[in-house]
Structure 1
């Protein structure tokens, strides 16, 4: 039986993989973790496996050794195996070797999250530095330089930092090249 993922899920039933799933994301090589994580999460959602990133391993309670509960735990273990291995196979070989000892999809996901989300804090500092060091040059077209600065603003926003529109406008005016000095002064006093 194939599920399209639209209906409610029964946690005791084995997970069925959707036929129309998204394209597998590129392998993660240690760079741009948030983007890769988002793509892998979407991929796992299309495969109806994302819940294994947050669920604990089910355990059989004493006296609960009936065929139905044993079957449910086996189904969970199989689906977790798929989810974990989709995650591991989404890693570059060097990272695969580091994280392959993780026993569950949840353990793998949390381990990657801890390691690479903290490294993303360094990315924020790098973006702020890129913004502060950005200077427009007379030798390049102003429009392309403004677009480059807007990309930096976008990256800063994507990292969760907010810059008001008036700050962005003032920053662009301040970073105009020296040949635009008169226009820059006009805009400042407007």
Structure 2
């Protein structure tokens, strides 16, 4: 399957017990995202489409910005509604505003502010239908907020081809070990 556009999503920081952006777990998650993204980019990926939620999507945005120096990839920021960041802490709001400025395309799905949880369902469905695949940081046994996205993907895949790359705790643990070994060789 020729994948020209993907979305990247997964857990919010609190679901991963991450409370600062300099947490070691963020470094590992970003490296895992980067490796999967590079695979897609080498196969012709053109667009990464994000809703801009905190956590995996914010970290993915940073990775794509870095990779833009090497690859001709574009990033679209499509939040579910206007001012999704209005209830976030000030530093997160500032980061989100920077993302809007740096995105190649920005357009909220709804021209209204938050009304109800259905707006998140509509966003998830839209992201799946408008992309060729996704990278999902997700743990089936844990569930959490990505469960809704994952369930929609399974339903969508019953009728459509859709490429899914899941990053789970085993992948992250392997990568953490690999990165530790690499660092310990550097120290020698």
Establish whether TM, by shorter chain, passes 0.5.
no
Superposition TM-score, scaled by structure 2 size: 0.26
- More relative contact order in 1 or in 2 (CA 8 Å, sep 6+)? 2
